[in-house]
Structure 1
Amino acid sequence: MTVRGRLQLSLRWRVAAAFGLGSFLLSSVLAMATWNLSSGYLLRQREQSAERQAEVNAKVISEELRRGGEGLDKLLTGLTTGPDSTILLYRPDELRSSGRQIDPSTLPPRLLELTRNGVPARQRLVVDGIPVIAVTLPITADVHYLELSPTLQLDRTFRFLSAVLIAGTVVSGLLGVALGAWAARRALRPLTELTAVAHRIAGGDLRSRMPERADPDLAPLARTFNTTADELEQRALRDARFASDVSHELRSPLTTMLNAAEILRRRRAEILGTAGRATDLLTSEVDRFARMVVDLLEISRSDQQTDERALEPVDLGGLVHHVLATRSDVIVPEVEVNSSAPLVIADRRRLDRVVNNLLDNAERHAGGAIRVAVLRNDRKVRLEIDDRGPGVPAELRERIFERFARGTRAGSRGTDSGSGLGLALVAEHVRRHGGRAWVQDRPGGGARFVVEIPEATT
């Protein structure tokens, strides 16, 4: 069996199971010790009591035999202690019995041999379904006494005691599991908080911190984590400021380059041969550079915290119609807007960029979008954009949403290669709105890019 196929319990449940197992084993040892001591003591007491009673009865019978034995039958009847007890008196060529009648042949042969030989003995056995203690005693040289004393009450006591001990062991094990789960939850609470804070930081909330701890064992962990988070936040802010500053500084020379490229493009017919091809390559790279600078500016803004003042109710269906109306795509996609699609609380500028980037991606890499849908799905607004391309391989479906990742076109150059930032901006903007973006196969072939954002609550 592989490691993945094995059942992996969480640390909390491993601790709970260890507590439960330890409690169960300890309770089992105590229960077994209690059972052995108590059952042994009760059994010895009952055997001693049966033996003393048999000795007394044997003396009474001996006195009666000295007097002639005329009232022996009446005496034997009076000596039985209950309906389930039996007395057997062996005399030469005679066997007298009293109490519960049994067939002597059902008794163990060894016990009968000891009785006939006049050897004192004691034995536990079951006769006709009733547990008894058999005691044999010699009365005279040729008269021998055998008494069977029932132990039904003792057996009921044993069953009750065993049931109590078993139930106590099981309950102790369950209490151990409950105690272990409680102790593990208490002990792992700081780790749970650490995980939650780390998850928020990974989601972009760089201001999340662990609360200060008075516990001397936990305080260093909280301080170290918060210090690391502070350094991470400062580094992210420095990187964002650097990208923003560089992008802003590039805008002026970029504007000059774009104007020069536009002049070269208008006079392309006058430039022949190798110079013409170099001009085409230069103007395409300038256009690509311009798109990259714009995307870098957008990235630098997206790395900052979302301005709550920019959030407003947005009709995603209306926004899609507006975006498509302002574009000049060669292929006009089919638009499907669910009439019950609700509003979303969002930054309209960011959502506008999301739709444009997805349409640009479809046009640049998949021959254009053929369907744009706005649907409602489980209290979320769902945006779907289908294209006519070859689809996205499964191993690249997460990677294409990373910065500067361009899938199978990585490393290529040209006007259609893109900057590798468009889908990263889509994922970033959607995440800022509490949603997620992914790509899947489109029924009939091609790719379907999907965006889901929580609907506005009333």
Structure 2
Amino acid sequence: MLDRIPLRRLPLRHRVAVAFALVSLAVTGLFATVTWNLASFYLVEQRVEGATRQADGNVALVERTLAVNPDGEGLNDLLTGLAGTPDITVALHRDGRWTTSGRTVDLDVLPGPLLDLARDGTPARQRLLIEGLPSLVIALPMPNGGLFVEILPLHLLDANLRFLGSILFFGVAASTVLGLGLGHWAGKRALLPLTELARAAGRIAGGNLAARLPDSSDAELAPLVATFNRNTDALEQRVQRDARFAADVSHELRSPLTTLVNAVAVLRRRREELPPTAQQAVDLLDGDVHRFRRMVLDLLEISRSDTLEREPWELGELVRGLVAARGEDPVPEIDAPEPVTVPADRRRLDQVLGNLLDNADAHGGGALRIGVSARPGRGRIEVDDGGPGIPPDRRAAVFERFSRGTLAGSRGDGGGTGLGLSLVAAHVRRHDGEVWIEERPGGGARVVVELPGEAG
């Protein structure tokens, strides 16, 4: 499963955290392995060496006892004393038979090579599992072909080693988790400037050209901050120049446009007196002049930079009032089951709703339903039309300026200016809201506007 999710696909902050965790795992794992090997080797060797020295002393006692009493009188008592505890087994092979004391053990389970080595005069020892219990077997030669065997349990040593291993394992696990947390914190701190940069870039993309990065005293970050703020200043100045240019041009066009509109109105009144060819020219001129006038007004609205005058407004009442004022036939269904209040600029909000209805009239056969509902911390407006809908790959493009020509083939030629939805997006962004298009259940398009607010 991990092979299907390459590490490089993780966010950089998570990759830093994973790197910290892996380094911590490697370091503490190596330390734990070395500690385990050294500690286990030391403890086992200490136990084996101590047991061997003790066995050598026990053999000397047995030899002195046999030297004094060759017939073995008192030997059983001596072996019982040498065993000490019921867990230790002491065995003496003499004259072809075994004499044992302590824990009862089947001596046939002892390795033959180990006993043969001791019979040949070479002390031998071996760790093995006897009747489910880890044990140390020490075999020592005795005069006259005798054999002394001592079996000591190692379960306490084995338990201590398991306890040490558990401590080291959980220590490595805790160190890995700590490394992961430390890496996450370090990555978050290290990437904080990039996070602030992304947020500032997002605010700029949303239309807030006043967003800037705070000054930094870091020698590596200061050039980046300065460059970003300088480029943002240049972008803001350019946008302001473009807006002023559009406003100046639109303002200068209003007077001649007014003259043209009045002149066309005069021609419209005397249309019947004109020949058919001239009547057709007047009709075309009338449509283009009015469309040109709407375009100029929209450009003026887009170029306006006055502040928002926010007041609490109930969306359901605004929708009902706007629909009644437009006098549309048929009247779209208004679905506003509960009051929803949002702080908004009334003039801009009216224009948003009006442009959405105009768009539905021009490209979707008219609005079928206007829904108003509450979302957590937001108010939602939905405008449904009965048109052919908009392909998913074109839904973002319709909010761009002058996108009408691109969509004329799929949405019909409604005579729009191509600025209506662009103006909607601009006003919604200034209210810190969102606007998008989705498919209406049953076919058609649904334009959704969400504005910060609350249910009233």
Determine if contact 1:399/1:407 at 8 Å carries over to the other structure: no
| In structure 1, distance between residues paired with 2:454 and 2:157 | 74
Q: Which moved more, 1:14-23 or 1:253-262?
A: 253-262
Which amino acid in the other structure matches residue 25 of structure 1? A
1:443 match: secondary structure: coil
1:51-450 matched pairs, under 5 angstroms: 51-68=52-69, 69-301=72-304, 304=305, 307-308=307-308, 310-338=309-337, 340-406=338-404, 409-410=407-408, 416-450=414-448
Q: In structure 2, do the counterparts of structure 1 residues 6 and 294 end up closer, same or farther at CA, with 3 Å as the change threshold?
A: farther
CA displacement, residues 73-119 of structure 1 (integer Å, 9 cap, x when unaligned): 11111111321111111112221111111111111222232244443
Which amino acid in the other structure matches residue 326 of structure 1? A
1:124 match: secondary structure: strand
Residue 282 of structure 1 deviates from its aligned partner by 2.0
| In structure 2, distance between residues paired with 1:64 and 1:409 | 114
Determine if contact 1:16/1:178 at 8 Å carries over to the other structure: yes
Residue 411 of structure 1 deviates from its aligned partner by 8.4
CA displacement, residues 294-339 of structure 1 (integer Å, 9 cap, x when unaligned): 11011111xx2x524x22122322222332233243432233333x
Determine if contact 1:440/1:448 at 8 Å carries over to the other structure: yes
| In structure 1, distance between residues paired with 2:341 and 2:361 | 27
Determine if contact 1:90/1:96 at 8 Å carries over to the other structure: yes
Q: In structure 2, do the counterparts of structure 1 residues 236 and 444 end up closer, same or farther at CA, with 3 Å as the change threshold?
A: same
Q: Which moved more, 1:15-24 or 1:171-180?
A: 171-180
| In structure 2, distance between residues paired with 1:160 and 1:268 | 105
Which amino acid in the other structure matches residue 52 of structure 1? R
| In structure 1, distance between residues paired with 2:353 and 2:327 | 14
| In structure 2, distance between residues paired with 1:98 and 1:232 | 97
Q: Which moved more, 1:68-77 or 1:441-450?
A: 441-450
Determine if contact 1:323/1:352 at 8 Å carries over to the other structure: yes
Residue 407 of structure 1 deviates from its aligned partner by 6.7
Uncovered stretches (5+) of structure 2, i.e. residues with no partner: none
| In structure 2, distance between residues paired with 1:138 and 1:370 | 107
Which amino acid in the other structure matches residue 92 of structure 2? L
Q: In structure 2, do the counterparts of structure 1 residues 5 and 356 end up closer, same or farther at CA, with 3 Å as the change threshold?
A: farther
| In structure 1, distance between residues paired with 2:386 and 2:200 | 42
Determine if contact 2:348/2:427 at 8 Å carries over to the other structure: yes
Which amino acid in the other structure matches residue 399 of structure 1? A
CA displacement, residues 196-247 of structure 1 (integer Å, 9 cap, x when unaligned): 1111111111111111111111111111111111111111111111110110
Residue 273 of structure 1 deviates from its aligned partner by 4.1
| In structure 1, distance between residues paired with 2:114 and 2:149 | 9
Which amino acid in the other structure matches residue 102 of structure 1? V
TM-score by length of structure 1 reads 0.93
Matched, 1:29 2:27: no
Residue 264 of structure 1 deviates from its aligned partner by 2.1
2:218 match: secondary structure: coil
Q: 2:47 matched to which residue of 1? A: 46
Q: In structure 2, do the counterparts of structure 1 residues 16 and 359 end up closer, same or farther at CA, with 3 Å as the change threshold?
A: same
Residue 436 of structure 1 deviates from its aligned partner by 1.7
Residue 16 of structure 1 deviates from its aligned partner by 0.7
Determine if contact 2:340/2:372 at 8 Å carries over to the other structure: no
Determine if contact 1:20/1:174 at 8 Å carries over to the other structure: yes
| In structure 1, distance between residues paired with 2:420 and 2:269 | 29
| In structure 2, distance between residues paired with 1:80 and 1:369 | 101
| In structure 2, distance between residues paired with 1:205 and 1:406 | 26
Which amino acid in the other structure matches residue 442 of structure 1? R
| In structure 2, distance between residues paired with 1:353 and 1:67 | 122
2:30 match: secondary structure: helix
CA displacement, residues 24-48 of structure 1 (integer Å, 9 cap, x when unaligned): 1111111111111111111111111
Residue 385 of structure 1 deviates from its aligned partner by 2.1
| In structure 1, distance between residues paired with 2:23 and 2:158 | 31
Residue 276 of structure 1 deviates from its aligned partner by 3.2
Which amino acid in the other structure matches residue 348 of structure 2? R
Which amino acid in the other structure matches residue 27 of structure 2? L
Residue 270 of structure 1 deviates from its aligned partner by 2.7
Which amino acid in the other structure matches residue 307 of structure 2? D
Q: In structure 2, do the counterparts of structure 1 residues 415 and 134 end up closer, same or farther at CA, with 3 Å as the change threshold?
A: closer
Q: In structure 2, do the counterparts of structure 1 residues 48 and 409 end up closer, same or farther at CA, with 3 Å as the change threshold?
A: closer
Determine if contact 1:383/1:452 at 8 Å carries over to the other structure: yes
Q: In structure 2, do the counterparts of structure 1 residues 276 and 407 end up closer, same or farther at CA, with 3 Å as the change threshold?
A: closer
1:274 match: secondary structure: helix
Residue 268 of structure 1 deviates from its aligned partner by 2.3
Which amino acid in the other structure matches residue 10 of structure 1? P
Determine if contact 1:285/1:415 at 8 Å carries over to the other structure: no
Residue 287 of structure 1 deviates from its aligned partner by 1.4
Q: In structure 2, do the counterparts of structure 1 residues 126 and 255 end up closer, same or farther at CA, with 3 Å as the change threshold?
A: same
Q: In structure 2, do the counterparts of structure 1 residues 454 and 71 end up closer, same or farther at CA, with 3 Å as the change threshold?
A: same
Determine if contact 1:18/1:180 at 8 Å carries over to the other structure: yes
1:133 match: secondary structure: strand
TM-score by length of structure 2 reads 0.93
Determine if contact 1:132/1:150 at 8 Å carries over to the other structure: yes
CA displacement, residues 434-455 of structure 1 (integer Å, 9 cap, x when unaligned): 2222222223332222222222
1:209 match: secondary structure: coil
Residue 186 of structure 1 deviates from its aligned partner by 1.2
Which amino acid in the other structure matches residue 211 of structure 2? S
Q: What number of residue pairs does the alignment pair up?
A: 452
